[in-house]
Amino acid sequence: MKQKKRIVIIGATSAIAEQCARVWAKENPLEIVLLGRNQEKLDRVSSDLKVRAPNTTITSITVDFLDPTQIQAVVNQLFSKGNVDIALIAHGSLPDQQLCQLDLNLCKESLEVNGVSPVLFAEAFAMHMQKADRGTLAVIGSVAGDRGRKSNYVYGAAKGLVTRYVQGLQHRLANSKVKVVLIKPGPTDTPMTAHLKQSGAKLAAVDRVARDIVRGSENGSRVVYTPKIWSIIMMVIRHLPHFVFRRMDI
């Protein structure tokens, strides 16, 4: 009997992650493992997926996303039950830049949740995938990590860390069969960006972004900008000379 494809989603209660799980659940029966910090929210996502895909095995695990010991233990536990085909690291939060400038505790929390924590999870998964010489590790960064901007540079710095880390991991695993995917969404219509929507910002539909993420993960793409237009937008922003960039209110 063929073994079910096994997918692990870290930060499974985020809007993008939940939508990715729904896309995957439309496939042939598979196994989806949901990791999160809040069991009640995980139960809600799990129940929804079980209704949508009754032949798919859904399990959920709570973990402290900032505790390296817990992260390593959970990932070890997952691999003790078999290999992981795809691991999607999808958690994060969008802080208020102004508040981060005033509150160093909030600044520290944002850097850890959006930068350090995804890296710790990725390192734990990479260790096992490299040993097995198989699997895909997909990490959600952000277009905000491409160039520091005054409107969100604390968040951007954390995502910049994720970008550099994933680039290094891709180099490390270049001669293996492990695929490492860096995903860079633009602003997306989720509860995390509700304040941006209220201010009139144009946001991408979460289902579109999720489809791009799933497709990129399945294909083992090196970098996935979603929507694709952001690859052009950020290329321009990255290459703007400082004397122009400094005058921009972004």
Per-residue pLDDT of the chain (250 residues; tens, 9 = 90+): 567 899 999 999 999 999 999 999 988 789 999 999 999 999 999 999 999 999 999 999 999 999 999 999 999 999 999 999 999 999 999 999 999 999 999 999 999 999 999 999 999 999 999 999 999 999 999 999 999 999 999 999 999 999 999 999 999 999 999 999 999 999 998 887 877 777 777 899 999 999 999 999 999 999 999 999 999 999 999 999 999 999 999 9
If you count DSSP H runs as helices and E runs as strands, how many of each does the chain have, helices first? 11, 7
SS (H, E, C) 44-60: HHHHHHHHHCCCCEEEE
How is the chain split into domains, by residue range? 6-245
Residue range 6-245 in CATH 3.40.50.880 = no
* Position 201, amino acid: A
Give the position of tokens 């850097």.
111
Q: How far is CA 194 from the centre of its chain?
A: 19
Question: What pTM does this model have?
Answer: 0.95
Residue 77 and residue 65: Cα distance in Å, rounded? 16
Residue 95 and residue 111: Cα distance in Å, rounded? 10
Helix (H, G, I), strand (E, B) or coil at 140: strand
Closest CA to 56 of 10, 88, 23: 23
What is the total residue count of the chain?
250
